[in-house]
Structure 1
Amino acid sequence: MSQKQRMLAGDLYTADDPEIAADAARAAAWMARYNASLAWDAADRHALLAEGLGQVGEGAVVRPPFHCDYGTNIHLGARVFLNFGCVILDVVRVEIGAGAQIGPGVQILTADHPRDPVLRARGLEYGRPIRIGANVWIGGGALILPGVTIGEDAIIGAGSVVTRDVPPGITVMGNPARPRVR
């Protein structure tokens, strides 16, 4: 397997591989264009968004500035909204369901690192996919960690650190994020 194939499969890989570095460079050039598009017509910005991401549903909006590793592993459903300053580290697939609303400064992080210091010292890393269901609301500044699935209609409180799966319809908050007690 190539390093890129290993990355996409969630296996250990090295990010300094030439093929992966070329993909990152392409994404950086695209982000420079996209992040300069705030004053553009919405249709033109949506077309540019579709050029850089894996899938962009109808009516999806991502307010610049926006940052990602590759873009091609990000899949947005219809009417998804990402506010200013979101970061998605998409070394593997990130799915965001229709109608999800994501506040400013949210970080969605699929990239992870081995716990073994010898493997980390060799520059190895891996990714775990993130799935965010339809109609989810994620408050500003939240962190979504590798491998998390957030069920439909869930709410993530602002500033929360989501370390494990969130069932559908549940509100979580805090660090680590826990279900809200009424």
Structure 2
Amino acid sequence: MRHSILAMTLSVSAMLTGCATTQDEGVDGTASASAAAVLLAADGSSRGEAKVTEASDGLHIMVDARGLTPGMHAVHIHGTGSCTPPDFTSAGGHWNPGNRQHGRDNPAGMHMGDMPNMIAGADGSGQMEYVIPGARLNNGAMPMLDADGAAIVIHAQADDNKSDPAGNAGGRVACGVISGG
């Protein structure tokens, strides 16, 4: 009896180990690249984290932000991996390898770095998940992590999803350099 319980325990343990997700496993279950960013305010205080995971359908962006003014905030991928305070303009414009105009509602848009707005609750925290279709982290014709890298930026206001070049989203209140991959 004791031997069969031990065998069953080892068998269940082996099955559970086989089901575990590894850090290098993408959201679609295949091995893939991932990257992350620590979001900081101009004073260096933490504003959260972002994670980027490459999958067969594109880049999955997950943002977990805190310390924001309650309300709607634009979140974009910017084309340069630099976050120099106080205004974070070192991150450059939106990631736009296809040389398109800005905004999901712009008939001539959109930048690859254009993403939906994020709502920060009364406590200043907000979460967002978005897939950039067809995008790749560091391979393909237009990788996000090219020679000068990329950054994720949270803006003070909402993106109007049509005005070029940045959707009237206001100042940059948090920035994180995307690294890894």
User: What is the TM-score with the length of structure 1 in the denominator?
Assistant: 0.22
Larger radius of gyration: 2
Return the structure number with greater relative CO, CA threshold 8 A, min gap 6: 2
More helix by share: 1
